[in-house]
Amino acid sequence: MAKITDVFQGYGFSNDRLTLLAGPCAIESYDTCAEVVETLKNLTDKLDINYVFKASFDKANRSAIESERGAGMTAGLEVLQKIKDNYQVPIVTDVHESYQCEPVAKVADVLQIPAYLSRQTDLLVAAAKTGRVVNIKKAQFMAPEDIKSAVNKVAQTNEHILVTERGTMFGYHQLVVDMTSLIQMRDTGYPIIFDATHAVQIPSGYGNHSGGNRDYAFPLMRAALAIGIDGIFAEVHPNPPEAISDQDSQLYLSKIQPILENANKLFHEHLDMKAVYDNDELL
């Protein structure tokens, strides 16, 4: 079983620390990103958490054509480079097209494959060839064991892989998180991340844009940490109702400290469960 240190070689990360990928859903401005990263960097330093800043330069899979999509690749990468330089944090951002992978890899440390695109062979292969960490989000229509095929497409050329669970669609506008999927996905051999905020999304819940219920994010996060996972993905914003995307599911920056404190405590309490699954004990 690959460890966090195997995936993030040279980043000073530790296997016995919680790993957090977090930031605003979309790049709206440098100032918004800076406000979020400054708070999260201070907290993760204090709590001894491995931290990667997240923000998307393009929300290409919006429900409606009139929806705002973010800064765009050129301007977005400029913001991410500035964040990286000023706050000394690694960066994760989405790629949607194969041609984006090479230029994005010049800035981002982690290329994230959006859930809806996790079967796109050319995108997975292009991301892998950059040599950067590739975070594959399991599609909402995939069974847990099906993510192995996506992982194998990357692993042909790149072993720096994260696998993220964000729930499965079992009905119209409804995602359900099957906690046993977190165990099954460990069979890929790579670290497992739980996406706590997209898991509470209600896809196209408002017709032309998605809804969600952020109140469920921490309870689901607690359950995932008790199962024994490697990290948490979460979108965090200073004022979610005014964000350009995922207004109902992003977490409030002002409320993030107790969430991270409790998540970190749970992670350390359940490190033994990770060891159980890694060594096939009791299974």
Q: Euclidean distance between the first and final Cα of the chain, in Å?
A: 15
d(CA 41, CA 49): 9
- pLDDT tier, 64 (very low <50, low <70, confident <90, very high otherwise): very low
Say if residue 72 is exposed, middle or buried (CB neighbours under 10 Å; 0-12, 13-18, 19+): exposed
User: Which token pair is 277?
Assistant: 């699954």
- Beta-strand relationship, 192-195 and 161-165: parallel
- pLDDT tier, 282 (very low <50, low <70, confident <90, very high otherwise): low
- Beta-strand relationship, 251-252 and 231-237: parallel
pLDDT at 239 over 50: yes
How many Cα atoms sit within 13 Å of 112 on the Cβ side?
Answer: 27
Mean pLDDT of 163-171: 91
Q: Tell me the pLDDT tens digit for each residue of 207-227.
A: 455 556 899 999 999 999 999
Q: Tell me the pLDDT tens digit for each residue of 75-108.
A: 999 999 999 999 999 999 999 999 999 999 999 9
- pLDDT tier, 60 (very low <50, low <70, confident <90, very high otherwise): low
d(CA 45, CA 191): 21
- The mean predicted confidence, pLDDT, of the chain is 91
- 233 vs 168, 199, 282, CA distance in Å? 16, 10, 28
